[in-house]
């Protein structure tokens, strides 16, 4: 009896003192960084990783830590989780924790070709039918390759009327088209549009010219962008993979493709959401201060907090060490758990 009592007390102590997520058994499936003092206090951002090439499983925890520690946002980061409970970006059919979207003020996606079960897609679809904003990074333009009959319209090659070319085209403004720069050979330098610079647009405020850079290449975009899309940053295709390499002197930069733009999305519910899309966003891209600041500034802008972006831009200092894995299929760190991205690691 005494042993049973001690075990009961111990269990209660573990329940009481467990960090957020442990008590409900989900700590090994996602990670939450608590909100605090700062402009983002009281707002919840959900960052959904799940791409098998550009290391969103590394980039999004890094962004979540910055947004939490420096800016006060509560941030929940979700991952593609395999049957062993490990983060496996090329495991296409499982992203636990999507039910937290009901509490989200903003979603940031780093997805590619997901084939999620209907019960998980239900949460994404419900969020999409609110007026809440979404930021899409890199391959999120082709986020879904679902085999579900219920959600076939989300497929990046959808032919359903009103949902042609799927979620990416309808929500973000483009689906997968092609590599415009040579993949792995021609990097990208972001060039702020004249209109965005003249308006001192919050997304690019405080960003030094030339400091938006990524070793991922420029994507092809069908021009013009649809509806009320507004290009903010164009992508200069460079001659090589160096930060200081010059632009190529050929048709690839005539005209330059947009790499960051804003638009709105009107849901089937009638609600209208603000959208920010960037075809940059590989973990290695976000190692660069200007590229990272563009995304963090974008969080402020899309949440209606653009007037709080200072003249020098937002604080994007890393919280802890960040050494991103180079992009590439199969390059992810094997055996990694969500808990490995806790703030104390």
Q: Would residue 158 count as lying in a domain? A: yes
Name the pTM for this structure. Answer: 0.92
Give the residue numbers spanning the domain of 319.
15-178+258-336
Q: Would residue 266 count as lying in a domain? A: yes
Q: Would residue 231 count as lying in a domain? A: no
C-alpha span between 97 and 102 (Å, rounded): 11
Q: Would residue 322 count as lying in a domain? A: yes
Structure token digits, residue 126: 């419900």
Written as tens digits, the pLDDT of the chain (345 aa) is 444 444 333 333 333 333 333 333 344 799 999 988 999 999 999 999 999 999 999 999 999 999 999 999 999 999 999 999 999 999 999 999 999 999 999 999 999 999 999 999 999 999 999 999 999 999 999 999 999 999 999 999 999 999 999 999 999 999 999 999 999 999 999 999 999 999 999 999 999 999 999 999 999 999 999 999 999 999 999 999 999 999 999 999 999 999 999 999 999 999 999 999 999 999 999 999 999 999 999 999 999 999 999 999 999 999 999 999 999 999 999 999 999 999 876
Count the domains in the chain. 1
Q: Would residue 244 count as lying in a domain? A: no
The CATH number of residue 162's host domain is 3.40.50
Q: Would residue 242 count as lying in a domain? A: no
Which three-class secondary structure state does DSSP give residue 113? coil
Q: Residue 301: CB partners within 8 Å, gap ≥ 6? A: 201, 202, 203, 276, 309
Q: Would residue 220 count as lying in a domain? A: no
Q: Would residue 34 count as lying in a domain? A: yes
Check residue 345 and give its pLDDT.
Answer: 61
Backbone angles phi, psi at 161, to 5 degrees: -60, 130
If DSSP states are collapsed to H, E and C, what string results for the chain? CHHHHHHHHHHHHHHHHCCCCCCCCCCCCEEEECCCCCCCCCCEEEEEEECCCCCHHHHHHHHHHHHHHCCCCEEEEECCECCCCCECCCCCCCCCCHHHHHHCCEEEEEECCECCCHHHHHHHHHHHCCCCCEEEEHHHHHCECCCCCCCHHHCCCCCCCCCCCHHHHHHHCCCCCCECCCCCCCCEEEEECHHHHHCCCHHHCCCCCCCCEECCCCECCCCCCCCCCEEEEEEEEECCCCCCCCECCCHHHCCCEEEEEEEEEECCCCCEEEEEEECCCCCCHHHCHHHHHHHHHHHHHHCCCHHHCCCCCCCCCCCCCCCCCCCCCCCCCCCCCHHHHCCCC
């Amino acid at each position: 009896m005494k042993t049973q009592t001690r075990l009961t007390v111990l269990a209660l102590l573990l329940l009481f003192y467990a960090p957020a997520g442990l008590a409900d058994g989900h700590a090994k499936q996602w990670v939450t960084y608590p909100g605090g003092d700062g402009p983002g206090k009281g707002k919840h951002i959900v960052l959904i990783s799940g791409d098998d090439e550009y290391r969103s499983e590394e980039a999004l925890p890094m962004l979540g830590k910055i947004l939490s520690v420096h800016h006060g946002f509560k941030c929940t980061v979700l991952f593609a989780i395999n049957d062993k409970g490990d983060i496996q970006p090329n495991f296409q059919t499982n992203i636990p924790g999507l039910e937290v979207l009901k509490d989200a003020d903003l979603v940031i996606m780093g997805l590619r070709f997901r084939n999620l079960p209907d019960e998980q897609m239900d949460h994404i679809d419900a969020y999409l039918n609110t007026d809440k904003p979404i930021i899409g990074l890199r391959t999120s333009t082709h986020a879904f390759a679902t085999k579900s009959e219920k959600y076939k319209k989300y497929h990046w090659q959808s032919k359903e009327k009103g949902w042609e070319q799927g979620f990416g085209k309808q929500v973000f403004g483009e689906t997968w088209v092609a590599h415009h720069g040579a993949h792995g050979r021609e990097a990208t330098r972001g060039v702020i549009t004249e209109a965005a610079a003249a308006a001192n647009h919050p997304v690019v405020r405080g960003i030094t010219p030339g400091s938006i850079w990524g070793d991922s290449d420029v994507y092809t975009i069908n021009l013009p962008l649809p509806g009320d899309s507004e290009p903010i940053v164009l992508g200069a295709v460079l001659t090589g993979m160096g930060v200081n390499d010059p632009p190529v002197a050929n048709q690839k930069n005539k005209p330059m493709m947009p790499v960051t733009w804003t638009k709105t999305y009107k849901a089937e519910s009638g609600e209208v959401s603000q959208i920010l899309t960037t075809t940059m966003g590989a973990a290695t891209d976000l190692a660069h201060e200007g590229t990272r600041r563009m995304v963090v500034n974008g969080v402020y802008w899309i949440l209606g907090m653009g007037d709080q972006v200072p003249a020098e831009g937002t604080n994007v200092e890393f919280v802890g060490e960040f050494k991103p894995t180079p992009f590439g299929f199969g390059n992810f760190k094997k055996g990694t758990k969500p808990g490995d991205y806790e703030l104390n690691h």
